[in-house]
Amino acid sequence: MRLAGAIDIGGSGTKIGVVAEDGTIVRRRTISTSADGQPMPLVDAIASSLRLILDARATQRNPVSGIGVSVAGFLDDEHSAMVHNANLPALRGFPLRRALEERLSLDCHLEVDWNAAVVAEYRHGAGRGSARLLGVTVGTGLGGGVIIDGKLLRYTGECAGDLGHIIVDPKGRLCTCGARGCLEAMVNSVALSERARGRKVREIVNSGRQGDKLARKALAETGWWLGLGFASLSPVFAPDRIVVGGGIAAAGELLLESVRASYRTHARPEFRETTALVGSSFDGWEGMIGAASLFLNPLA
């Protein structure tokens, strides 16, 4: 079975590993996305960490074919650089693909992280069989990818656009983009943490599973805003399925129950019963899986 190296660069953490053609993760690790405003320290950290994983497989009969790279933000037309993301300023306009290829001596395919995530769900996860799939990842930010009839929707920044920046509450939290009340600002990891008195996402999820009322209330409120956002996006993309991924999605039904209730309250009647709302089973690794998958088997 063919293998690809994989890199998923997020706003706060970067996932690195090796992924098989069937979506199985062979090796994995996470490093901090910390560059102090400079791209090269981050690129060097990513390359050296992945090189250790690749060197460990050098003696095996099945080497990687190349590297799939997903990065948060819009890409240029050539897929050589990320050109816009308020949460990842160090890499804006930086020739990321070339820098990684030079350090790893392997071909790299650069993709928008939201696209990579939705491809992982479409090929290997909760989106299989969907004709109109909306995949949303929630973590440091919020992004979404769309696949319609087997093709990725690309019309802004080589993706479906910055879906996290629809405004759901004009008086809501200030967003990193400069607007107020964006969906991203209302549901991201910082917003969830604030609702739970500063606790980290993992702690909130674990406490919620154990019945902690504050943690459950924080997740329910976050889910309410997320469902409202999905109701707003549905008339644009008319999805038959929406898959929720990213770190916050690890809460599972503790989050999704309120997402579905909010969606049923706010969505137009034709979407309430026809659009399925499901959670990812990849525990936040969907971007890395999709990046490798797109290197091995490109999708239009």
Ordered DSSP codes for 15-37 = EEEEEETTS-EEEEEEEE---TT
Supply the pLDDT for residue 130.
Answer: 98
pLDDT string in tens for the chain (300-residue length): 899 999 999 888 899 999 999 999 999 999 998 756 789 999 999 999 999 999 887 656 778 989 999 998 999 999 999 998 877 888 999 999 999 999 999 999 999 999 999 999 999 999 999 999 999 999 989 999 999 999 999 989 999 999 999 999 999 999 999 999 999 999 999 999 999 999 999 999 999 999 999 999 999 999 999 999 999 999 999 999 999 999 899 999 999 999 999 999 999 999 998 999 999 989 899 999 999 999 999 986
Tokens matching residue 199: 């606790």
In eight-state DSSP terms, residue 67 is E
Supply the pLDDT for residue 12.
Answer: 82
Per the listing, tokens 């609702």 go with: 195
pLDDT, tens digit, for every residue of 150-174?
999 998 999 999 999 999 999 999 9
Supply the pLDDT for residue 207.
Answer: 97
For the domain made up of 3-115+286-296, give the CATH fold.
Answer: Nucleotidyltransferase; domain 5 (3.30.420)
Would the pTM of this model clear 0.95, i.e. be above it?
A: no
In eight-state DSSP terms, residue 139 is S
| Distance, C-alpha 258 to centroid of its chain | 21
Q: Where in the chain is the domain with CATH 3.30.420.40?
A: 3-115+286-296, 129-279
pLDDT, tens digit, for every residue of 229-287?
999 999 999 999 999 999 899 999 999 999 999 999 999 999 998 999 999 989 899 99
In eight-state DSSP terms, residue 251 is G
* Cα(104)–Cα(48) distance, integer angstroms: 9
Q: What are phi and psi of 143, to 5 degrees?
A: -140, 160
Supply the pLDDT for residue 1.
Answer: 86
Helices and strands of the chain, counted as H and E runs? 10, 12
Pick the CATH number of 129-279 from 3.50.50.60, 3.30.420.40, 3.30.950.10, 3.30.2080.10: 3.30.420.40
* Cα(173)–Cα(187) distance, integer angstroms: 10
CA-atom Rg of the chain in angstroms: 18
Tokens matching residue 138: 């929630």
